[in-house]
Structure 1
Amino acid sequence: MNEEELRETLRTEMASTTPPPPLSTEAALGAARRAHFRRRALWASLGSAAVVLAVTGFAAVGRPNDPVYQPAGGGFPAAGSSTDTKEPWPTGPDGRPQEDRTARAGSQHDRAIGLLNAVVSAVPAGYTAPEDPAGQPADQRMLRTQQAQFEEKVNGVDRWSYLTSVAVAQGIGTGRVIVEVHDAGNQLPAEPCALARTFWGMRGECQVETVGAAQVGVVVRPGSDDRLDQWSAYRHPDGVVVYVAQGAKLDETRPSLRKLPFSVRQLAALAVDERFHLR
């Protein structure tokens, strides 16, 4: 099974189940490989199957000491379900239907790369965004990853989501920043905190931050699910939804950050940032 199949299975599994309590890293990784990983992992790398989001449940980008992330916004049909076979996947730039939900070329793929670059540009002073070694195979990348995924067709229009994860380092510590964007036309909630609590199926203590005229939901403290430390959510007037998350831990092999890169106010402002407003 290749990295794309692993990611696809993860997303479909996670979308259809209620996230259980986080598992230990070893148990999560084991479960992930046996059952196509399910929830306690964070996708430490969108292109990394090695960093696989293990655990039962859903939600990406993952998740923190694993290496993969997956959105938890809209539901994904189970692999092999009738939804998958009723119509072909979106057509790629070669004129043929995609092999699965992930776009590996074309405009959506390019948008995901653009989002990755935008996240790197947002890393604050005092922190760095390390890169994977040159020539690193896609299934082994952990430091910078991105993915464009087909969600569903609504009234004849393809709806996509875009997910990217960037490792953020300071001193000997390494954490991560994740941004996930959903096209307009999605079925996600409008109320700020209700929207924030849909991210990867996670819950937590949420507060509403005002950024200009915008109301942003920010989970400042997670519940029992510790895959990420804080995340913000904002629905633009045109319906595009943006989630921005940060975690002090990248994986079990590296020390964690002593301080998160962004304050709560900054995290809220990033959710409104036009650099992440994909249209």
Structure 2
Amino acid sequence: MNGEELRDALRTEMASVSPPPPLSTEATLGAARRAHLRRRAVWVSLGSAAVVLAVAGFAAVGPPGGDVYQPAGVGLPGNPDPSTDTKEPWPTGPDGQPQEDRTARAGSQHDRGVHLLNEVVSVVPAGYTAPEDPPDQPADQRMLRTHQAQFEEKVNGVDRWSYLSSVAVAQGGGTGRVIVEVHDAGNQLPTEPCALARGFWGMQGECRVETVGAAQVGVVVRPGSDDRLDQWSAYRHPDGVVVYVAQGVKLDGTRAALDSLPFSVPQLAALAVDDRFHLK
């Protein structure tokens, strides 16, 4: 067979192959959400191809106007390739071997993430439900209740972790989300209440300081151009543990949104101080 015959044969073969189906935006967004939730959480809905690129690249912060989640967390720094992210081995798992990545899938850190999820479910207010994923749903495909324990960094020889739990909340025909993210003491997050709040997931917004007993809590009551979530509170406990509590009227792009947020601003501030989320 000469070159011309080879080209003709290739053209004939290509013509006989059915073109691939168009890309499914929903499938792509779903895969990106699941990848992000395995590493952090929340999360929130993915709304554009640019956002998908950000999440798939483990960047929790999408472009302004994008409706991405998650993210816990946690705020929610990216999860770089393990081969370049650290020169040290990942923390040791309960099997005595280093973890395969940042996420703890067993052991005490993982259990703390499960505990946090249960506590988040416990604060869903009256009038709302917290739907569950099907019992046979693989862990990396769950969207209604998710949790994650993630290694953040080693500070003075001590492993520092963050914990993210996201719970869908439903009322009527709408479904939104409540997210709690907790960072171990010794973290490098800001101290001033509004600086702490505005740093959540790299988002900004209109912040005010709420007083809860003797505590000063930063609350972003209105997001800026990045509207992945609607409101969130932030509090640093005296021992250095940081708690974020966030809420949004939407869960993802496939479900109707809530008519109103589950918590008032004072309630959101009080939750950040709540000892149930003060993981020690």
TM range (shorter): 0.7 to 0.9
- Per-residue Cα deviation, 1:32-71 (whole angstroms, up to 9, x for no partner): 58x536456xxxxxxxxxxxxxx469xxxxx995564132
- Per-residue Cα deviation, 1:186-236 (whole angstroms, up to 9, x for no partner): 011111000001100000000000000000000000000010000000000
Unaligned ranges ≥5, structure 1? 12-22, 41-54, 58-62
The letter for the 1-side match of 2:53 is A
**Cα 1:37–1:182, aligned 2, differ >3 Å: closer, same or farther?**
closer
Mapping of residues 1-279 of structure 1, within 5 Å: 6-7=35-36, 25-28=47-50, 30-31=52-53, 36=57, 38-39=59-60, 55=62, 65-66=67-68, 68-73=70-75, 78-80=80-82, 82-84=84-86, 86-279=87-280
Distance 2:60 2:105 in 1: 24
**Cα 1:28–1:174, aligned 2, differ >3 Å: closer, same or farther?**
farther
Question: 8 Å contact 2:221–2:230 — kept in the other structure?
Answer: yes
The letter for the 1-side match of 2:112 is R
Distance 2:49 2:116 in 1: 32
Q: What TM-score, normalized by structure 1, do the two folds share?
A: 0.80
Distance 2:135 2:161 in 1: 29
CA drift of 1:137 comes to 1.1
Distance 1:143 1:193 in 2: 29
Question: 8 Å contact 2:230–2:248 — kept in the other structure?
Answer: yes
Question: 8 Å contact 2:72–2:163 — kept in the other structure?
Answer: no
SS in 2 for 1:25: coil
- Per-residue Cα deviation, 1:122-164 (whole angstroms, up to 9, x for no partner): 0000000000011101222100000000001111111000001
Q: What TM-score, normalized by structure 2, do the two folds share?
A: 0.80
**Cα 1:25–1:266, aligned 2, differ >3 Å: closer, same or farther?**
same
Number of corresponding residues: 246
Distance 1:240 1:226 in 2: 26
Question: 8 Å contact 2:48–2:66 — kept in the other structure?
Answer: no
CA drift of 1:98 comes to 0.3
Question: 8 Å contact 2:113–2:165 — kept in the other structure?
Answer: yes
Distance 1:151 1:99 in 2: 14
CA drift of 1:77 comes to 7.0
Question: 8 Å contact 1:204–1:219 — kept in the other structure?
Answer: yes
Question: 8 Å contact 1:174–1:254 — kept in the other structure?
Answer: yes
- The structure 1 segments of at least 4 consecutive aligned residues displaced by more than 6 Å after TM superposition are 2-5, 8-11
Unaligned ranges ≥5, structure 2? 1-30
Distance 1:199 1:258 in 2: 24
Indicate the structure (1 or 2) with the bigger Cα radius of gyration: 2
Distance 2:197 2:69 in 1: 22
Distance 2:104 2:39 in 1: 16
The residue aligned with 1:18 is none
CA drift of 1:31 comes to 2.9
CA drift of 1:94 comes to 0.5
The letter for the 2-side match of 1:132 is D
**Cα 1:6–1:126, aligned 2, differ >3 Å: closer, same or farther?**
closer
CA drift of 1:75 comes to 5.1
The letter for the 2-side match of 1:70 is A
| Structure having the larger proportion of residues in helix | 2
CA drift of 1:74 comes to 7.3
Distance 1:195 1:187 in 2: 10
SS in 2 for 1:110: helix
Question: 8 Å contact 1:28–1:37 — kept in the other structure?
Answer: no
CA drift of 1:87 comes to 1.1
The residue aligned with 1:49 is none
SS in 2 for 1:133: coil
